[in-house]
Structure 1
Amino acid sequence: MHFSTISKVLGILLMLFSITQLPPAIVAQIYGEKEVAVFLDAFLITLISGCCIWLPVFRSKNELRTRDGFLVTVLFWTVLASFGAIPLYLLDSLNLSITDAFFESLSGLTTTGATVITGLDHLPKSILFYRQQLQWLGGMGIIVLAVAILPMLGIGGMQLYRAETPGPIKDTKLTPRITETAKALWYIYLSLTVTCCIALWLAGMDLFNAICHSFSTVAIGGFSTRDGSVGDFDLVGAEFIIVIFMIISGINFALHFFAWRHRSIKHYLSDPEVKAYFFVLASTCLITVLILFTTNSYDFAHSLRYGIFEVVSVATTTGFGTADFSVWPVFLPYMLLWLSFAGGCAGSTAGGMKMVRVLLIFKQGLREIKLLLHPNAIIPVKLGSNAIPERVIEAVWGFFSAYVFLFIALFLANVATGLDLKTAFSTVASCINNLGPALGEATVNYSNLPDASKWILSFAMLLGRLEIFTLLVLLTPTFWRR
């Protein structure tokens, strides 16, 4: 472990992160809000802290290796979330405890979208902008994580695209090509955000809300500037645009990179994960719209409007709302909640287990049934025309097993804090899948949950965003041995 290099990277990260406290201060200045001083204080605290960490080790020349990368990745969210909570804690207009400030900050950076803040309609614009900015920055961090770090784990996901994805691993070092990859992905991410913003503005949103919602849409975050979320604007065109960009952001960004570099969409059309992704979205939308219409919940036009939006929002783990799906009839609330477990594609800003893992588990299940009839047959698991290595299949099952056991443990811990079963189950599901909306006592927001539950759910958010093993590997004795 190169702790000097890790400290150097962490110090640089904090100094860079301190700059993100300035745009909200500028927004506060533009709108004549008193929050300017708080954001400037947070900027100085973060900058000085970063300098204090960086200065003693700034001459370190060691390169980051695999273990260092894991630790830096975990620190990226935990440390930045801690410093990101500073302005939220200091702001008098929010009056948040340390627990609530950290929960809100981590929820933003992990693009979960679970909030403890109420009265968004009346908050200063600088605070609203800051929350959206946290999600946008976290979304970019997720993409870099997926391309640069997760392939090292071999847990079924981005390593399936390892042969094509730019910036993989050379020996055990993080290579300079990762910088090139991150830069290319940054341009794609920024381009999607700008395009989404312009489209929302043309659809009727004012510029401020268009910027804020483009941030949380492309990051698949779900924070809004209104208590009633996107539905509060009552703009059909804006809802349609958000649906399109949620779908786009739920697709592997490596495919966006290929489409951009080769000026072709054939990678989308031939990718098995994308096909499964669209199939699940389309079939779930159809079921939802039919049930809403046949149960007279809405007329057909509104069943179509609300059904499609909520399905895409939950399936991509964005968490925006145009209607309260928790009161929908039959099994719809639970179907949508379970849908978030699959999430979007690997290498996207979406949460959940990722569609490619669900697809591989399904195909493995079919293979086991065939092997019962033909025990001596050699039947490979394929994605498209490519046979998947057995190591990847084993890794996917290992990931799924860890996911299930951790979910059960977090659920029981949440129940122990005094929550009812419905609230405990749905909040853990929502946070570990980085979704946001939940059922029961957390239908509106998470402010009424006990502090112990919020810390448990914060851990769940971190687990989900780091794809479990990235965090768990730090808890093993082997990781710390020389």
Structure 2
Amino acid sequence: MQYRTIIKILGQLVALFSITMVPPALVSLIYKDGGGLPFILAFVFSVIAGLIAYYPNRNEHGDLKAREGFLIVVLFWLVLGSFASLPLIFLDAPKLSMADAVFEAFSGLTTTGATVLTGIEYLPKSVLFYRQQLQWLGGMGIIVLAVAVLPMLGVGGMQLYRAETPGPVKDSKMTPRIADTAKHLWYIYVSLTLTCTLAYWVAGMNWFDAICHAFSTIAIGGFSTYDASMGHFDSPVINLICVVFLLIAAINFSLHYAAVASRSGKVYLRDPEFKAFFLIQVALIIICFAVLSSNNIYANGDETLDQAMFQAVSISTTAGFATDNFSAWPLFLPMLLIFSSFIGGCAGSTGGGMKVVRVFLLYLQGIRELNRLVHPRAIYSIKLGRKALPDKVVEAVWGFFSAYALVFVIIMISLMGTGLDNITAFSATAACLNNLGPGLGEVAAHYGDISDSAKWILTLAMVFGRLEIFTLLVLFTPTFWRG
């Protein structure tokens, strides 16, 4: 294991991450909100810590293997999440405990969107901007950015990329070089963010709110600058813009690249995961609309459709924005939407959950087993579109599902051990492991009232979810350390 090389890279990444403290400090200067000092202190602290880690190991140039890639990614999220909490720890108002600050920072960086804060609109603009910025950076994964803009790393770029990017098939690259791939991903990401910002502004948001909400929309994060989330704006047009960009961000970004490169939208229609994703979304919207209509929850059909479409897309893509208290709907719907977050977005998107392609492969595998019961000697292959998949991919998906279920159960039982009731423990585990955000019961509005021990457990759940279980779980195997 190339430990000194790993420490050097982490030092570089921490020093790079310190730059993210500058924009909030500038926002504080512009709005004169008096909240700039914590970000300046965090910037200085991060730069010094990064240099301390980097400088003694600056001449290390070991060749990174897959093992080192996994370890760097896990350490990266743990270390960066810890440094991201520094400005929140240094804040005078609100005064956050260590557990609250770390929870909020990890929630932002992992794009979970669960918050311990209330009275959000009264926070300094710099703090509001910082929370949204964390989600935007975490959405695509800062590792990918680092590989794109830090070619001087020069070691194991592909190992980092494979460990970081979500989805069951990680060997496909859009361009021959990993740095080019990362750059193309970020070009698309930034372009979508700018377009979303402009759309929000045209729809009536001020520039600050438009930028902040575009950050969390494209990242499928869920943080807002208001306690009422998107409901604050009370605008069907803004709701529709949010839904459209959430759906775009929940699609595999390599599909976006292929569509731009070929200048044809047919790329989407040929992708089986894309078709399954939209079928799920349409089904959820129809079910929510039908149930809300039959219970006369809203005044008219237009409002019912607006609310049904927004909550269905927001929860199922794991964004977690809200325009109403969906936990007060007939219990069938909140539970349905929480379970839909287990599916989440497409592989290679900024969405959370298990990813549509994995659930789709599980479904195809189930159909194959049923067919084998009828025709035991027949040979059936699982196809994704026209491509037959090797059995090792299906086995990996089953392994992922098993690990996901095990981690879920352990976290939920641990939360119940801290005193949470079963509904709260279940929904909080689902919300954090799927990087969703809002839950039910005690965590329907915010996570500020649960115990510190529960917050630490849920912070770990966020990291498990963001790294898709295996990347973190592999570190607990003896084989990993023995090789």
Q: Do the structures match in fold with TM over 0.5?
A: yes
Deviation at 1:332, TM superposition (A): 0.3
Match of 2:451 in 1: 450
CA positional deviation for 1:62: 2.2
- After superposition, the Cα gap between the structure-2 partners of 1:156 and 1:234, relative to the gap in structure 1 and judged at 3 Å, is closer
Question: Is 2:233 aligned against 1:233?
Answer: yes
Q: Is the 8 A contact 1:143 1:349 kept in 2?
A: no
Q: Shift in Å at residue 153 of structure 1?
A: 7.0
Quickly say closer, same or farther: Cα 1:155–1:198, change in 2 above 3 A: closer
Summarize the alignment of residues 36-435 of structure 1 with structure 2, pairs less than 5 Å apart: 36-141=36-141, 144=144, 148=158, 152=162, 157-159=167-169, 162-163=171-172, 165-166=174-175, 177-298=177-298, 299-435=300-436
User: So what's the TM-score if we normalise by structure 1?
Assistant: 0.95
| CA pair 405-368 structure 1, distance change in 2 beyond 3 A | same
CA contact (8 A) 2:69 2:160 kept: no
Please give the alpha-carbon distance, in whole angstroms, between the structure 2 residues aligned to 1:156 and 1:457: 20
How far apart, CA to CA, are the structure 2 residues paired with 1:15 and 1:455?
Answer: 26
Structure 2 Cα separation of the partners of residues 132 and 249 of structure 1: 16
TM-score calculated relative to the size of structure 2: 0.95
C-alpha separation in 1, matches of 2:431 and 2:290: 25
Which amino acid is 1:394 matched to? E
CA RMSD of aligned residues (A): 1.9
Q: Deviations over 1:388-445 (max 9, x none)?
A: 1100001100000111111111111110000000000000000000000100000110
Of 201-210 and 230-239, deviating more is 230-239
Relative distance call for 1:184 and 1:455 in structure 2 (3 A) is same
Q: Which residue of 1 aligns with 2:152?
A: none
1:88-126 CA-to-partner distances (Å, cap 9, x unmatched) read 011011210001100000000000000001110111111
Decide whether the 8 Å contact of 1:220 with 1:349 is kept in 2. Answer: yes
Q: Would the aligned equivalents of 2:114 and 2:438 in 1 still touch at CA under 8 Å?
A: yes
Q: Which residue of 2 aligns with 1:18?
A: 18
- Count how many residue pairs are aligned between Structure 1 and Structure 2: 472
Which deviates more from structure 2 when the two are superposed, residues 321-330 or residues 366-375?
Answer: 321-330
Distance 2:46 2:162 in 1: 30
Q: 1:347 to 1:215 in 2, by over 3 A?
A: same
Runs of 5+ unmatched residues, structure 2: 148-156
Mean CA deviation greater in 65-74 or 110-119: 65-74
Partner of 1:172: none
Aligned position for 2:30: 30
- Segments of 5+ residues of structure 1 without an aligned counterpart are 168-176
Question: Secondary structure at the residue paired with 1:115?
Answer: coil
Q: What secondary structure, in the 3-state scheme, does the structure 2 residue paired with 1:357 have?
A: helix
- Structure 1 residue 180 displacement after superposition: 1.2
Q: 1:222 to 1:283 in 2, by over 3 A?
A: same
Are the counterparts in 2 of residues 415 and 421 from structure 1 also a CA contact under 8 Å?
A: yes
Structure 2 vs 1, CA of residues 153 and 76 (structure 1 numbering), >3 Å: closer, same or farther?
closer
Q: Percent identity?
A: 53
Mapped to 1, the partners of 2:264 and 2:8 lie a distance apart of: 40
Letter in 2 for 1:157: G
SS at 1:111 equivalent:
coil
3-state secondary structure, aligned to 1:21:
helix
d(CA) in 2 for partners of 1:142 and 1:281? 29
CA 1:153–1:5 in structure 2 vs 1: closer, same or farther (change >3 Å)?
A: closer
Displacement of 1:64 in angstroms is 2.5
1:11–1:53: 8 Å Cα contact kept in structure 2?
Answer: yes
